[in-house]
Amino acid sequence: YSHSINLEFYHDILTVLDSVIKKHQLNVHEQLCCIKTIFVILSGQGTVINIDPVHFYSHLYRVIPELDCCKYHDNLETFLRTIEALFLVGRKKVTANSTLSFVKRMSMLSLQTLHNATLGILAALRTIIQTNKNTESLLDVDPSYGQGIYNAELQEPEHSNAGSTSLWELPALQRHYHPEVCKLSKTVASLTVSQNNHNNLKPELAKMTPSEWFKEYDPSNVAFNPAVMPPVKVPQRIPAHYPTLPYADVLDKNYPNVDFSKDFF
């Protein structure tokens, strides 16, 4: 219902939600809902207003490390929808440095989530890299890119120097237990802005949004997608039968000049 909000109240909504988050009284889910609300509002009719929600970039960037495959895994769908509203719709408002920082921190998060959330994050990274030329440097291992040292602990995306690092998480994800994660991570690793190929992705998968990837491969129903192939049956080997000889006969045959009845010592 964001379209029914009067434009005069937009600044007040941003100010109130920003102050509520800064009080540190909200849990992770509540913070994500506040941040998502702002980005959804500004991606609709709020685009006609010159509002830069720079504080909410920092709020979202700070929340990412608190999401994992344990306590807050259910909040990852809300996080992916927030990323969609931020980068897929309002990507022109995000600076180049902030985009690099978000891509790097999301890549780090992908190693700590279940496979459906990892697929959603990789799908978001794929879209962001394809639509932002400056993120191509993260796919290069050349250390000459960027200036300074990447500070992963800094909570301000604009000043973390993410352009000085690379997405080293992608080679690790290419050895993931889930086959779709392996395929999608290889696709992201081979992306270039000039070559917009899907790299063995099916057309229906290439069109899916990050949140759709999350739902499609949700393991909550205790069903693996795609189904795990049963192990191949290995035919039993017939044991070989060798003729058995008395041990004494073997010794007498190999050592005819030795009397084994006597003590050597």
CA distances from 202 to 80, 196, 214 (A): 21, 14, 17
Query: Does residue 232 form part of some domain?
Result: no
Among the listed residues 206, 205, 185, the one whose alpha carbon sits nearest the alpha carbon of residue 197: 206
Q: What residues make up the domain containing 26?
A: 2-217
Query: Does residue 195 form part of some domain?
Result: yes
Query: Does residue 247 form part of some domain?
Result: no
Residue 191, phi then psi, degrees to nearest 5 = -75, 140
Tens digit of pLDDT for each residue in 136-164? 888 887 656 567 788 888 889 988 888 88
- In the chain, the amino acid numbered 121 is I
Looking at the structure of the chain, the number of domains it has is 1
Query: Does residue 262 form part of some domain?
Result: no
What pLDDT does 2 receive? 54
Residue 20's H or E segment, with its range, is helix 10-22
Helices (H), 23-138: 28-43, 54-63, 76-83, 96-109, 115-131
The pLDDT profile of the chain, 265 residues, written as one tens digit per residue, is 555 666 667 778 888 888 888 888 888 889 999 998 888 887 766 555 667 788 889 999 999 988 876 666 778 999 999 999 888 875 557 888 999 999 999 999 999 898 999 999 999 999 999 888 888 888 887 656 567 788 888 889 988 888 888 899 999 999 998 999 999 999 998 876 445 554 567 788 888 999 999 998 888 877 778 777 777 887 777 665 555 555 555 555 555 555 555 554 4
Are 124 and 91 a contacting pair, CB within 8 Å?
no
Query: Does residue 264 form part of some domain?
Result: no
C-alpha–C-alpha distance, residues 102 and 99, integer Å: 5
